[in-house]
Amino acid sequence: LQQRRGLRLSAPAAIQVTVRDALNQALDEELERDERVFLLGEEVAQYDGAYKISRGLWKKYGDKRVIDTPISEMGFAGIAVGAAMVWLRPVCEFMTFNFSMQAIDQVINSAAKTCYMSAGSIAVPIVFRGPNGASAGVAAQHSQCFAAWYGHCPGLKVVSPWSAEDAKGLLKASIRDDNPVVVLENELLYGVPFEMSEQAQSKEFVIPIGKAKIERQGTHVTVVAHSRPVGHCLEAAAVLSKEGVECEVINLRTIRPLDMETVEASVVKTNHLVTVEGGWPQFGVGAEICARIMEGPAFNYLDAPAVRVTGADVPMPYAKILEDNCIPQVKDIVFAVKKALNI
């Protein structure tokens, strides 16, 4: 009727959604879409999840689809891998990826290598997900970033979302993938609201694994990051813009496989590169990106050496002031960009 009267109907506007709710939506939609999908882990069912990611799912889908497990990562990860080998689609939650070390034999030796060792006859469609990297005030044994650890291993795909759209689209793509996928979330992002587009609100919205996103266009320097540091890079870019420096900020989204085409194209345009990550420097994600740039065609376009911004090369301290000094801050990124540009 409004259309007949010549009135313009507005499309549904973008909405604000937290990363927590985006992950919850993704799980809900995939559990509804495919009866082979199920979620298991510590406190994911009756308690609604340690971080409330699985809020409401146990009441909706019941004990067979949302399963509380004992505190035994090796045990329930092994059950999940076995289920995936017979074409169920388990989503295995680790309360933190630091605890995935208890199950690393299942993740690497069982899940990652089975397709190769079976000559492709056995797929393992499983998702390992949970919070990764530093939280706040949880000290050394709960603060590691495992992006480089799992990104090192053939047979795995590894994604690392930043925004709510990243979280929803990448988790849905991971659940639908026929390979083992490690989804590295960030606890400090769970409660952060992001704008979610109309497209991302669709139940069929997925983000292709292996494709980075340019979050901010720039001409002077390429800044590459993943997970929470993407936000720090955008803040640093805003600061530097006031000084006449325009940063191109790339959100990797996926650690394995790396989208080097997007990074290389940006470096060709800006002639400078800075990588940012919360993990340790040695053998890190930034180190891999710098090595690939050096080995590839974009190296000839660099006007200065690439610069890495990483976490400090120490186990995470407990004291807040020391913790802050161990994690890349906006000022560290600003300093690194100025170093790369020699200003």
pLDDT tens, residue by residue, 138-190: 888 899 999 999 999 999 999 999 999 999 999 999 999 999 999 999 999 99
Asked if 152 is an active-site residue, the reply is no
pLDDT at position 227: 97
User: Percentage of residues in the chain with pLDDT exceeding 70?
Assistant: 97
Burial classification of residue 207, based on how many CB atoms lie within 10 Å of its CB (0-12 exposed, 13-18 middle, 19 or more buried): buried
Residue at token pair 């030796």? 109
Banded model confidence at residue 12, pLDDT cuts 50, 70, 90: low
pLDDT at position 54: 97
| pTM, rounded to two decimals | 0.94
pLDDT at position 108: 97
**Residue 225 gets which letter from DSSP?**
E
Domain end point (choices 201, 227, 247): 201
Query: CA–CA separation, 89 vs 124, rounded Å?
Result: 8
Number of domains in the chain: 2
Domain end point (choices 177, 201, 225): 201
For residues 197 and 219, state if they share a domain.
Answer: no
Set 73, 185, 288, 323: catalytic member: 73
For residues 197 and 297, state if they share a domain.
Answer: no
For residues 197 and 72, state if they share a domain.
Answer: yes
Asked if 232 is an active-site residue, the reply is no
Distant-in-sequence, close-in-space partners of 295: CB < 8 Å, separation ≥ 6: none
For residues 57 and 135, state if they share a domain.
Answer: yes
Report pLDDT digits (tens) over 96-120: 999 999 999 999 999 999 999 999 9
pLDDT at position 10: 52
pLDDT at position 2: 47
Set 30, 142, 272, 288: catalytic member: 142
For residue 194, the SS3 value is: strand
pLDDT at position 205: 96
Asked if residue 1 has pLDDT above 80, the reply is no
Instruction: Please compute the mean of the pLDDT values over residues 227-242 and round it to a whole number.
Output: 98
Asked if residue 7 has pLDDT above 70, the reply is no
pLDDT at position 248: 98
For residues 227 and 125, state if they share a domain.
Answer: no
Query: Which residue, among 296, 301, 294, 323, has the nearest Cα to 311 in the 3D structure?
Result: 323
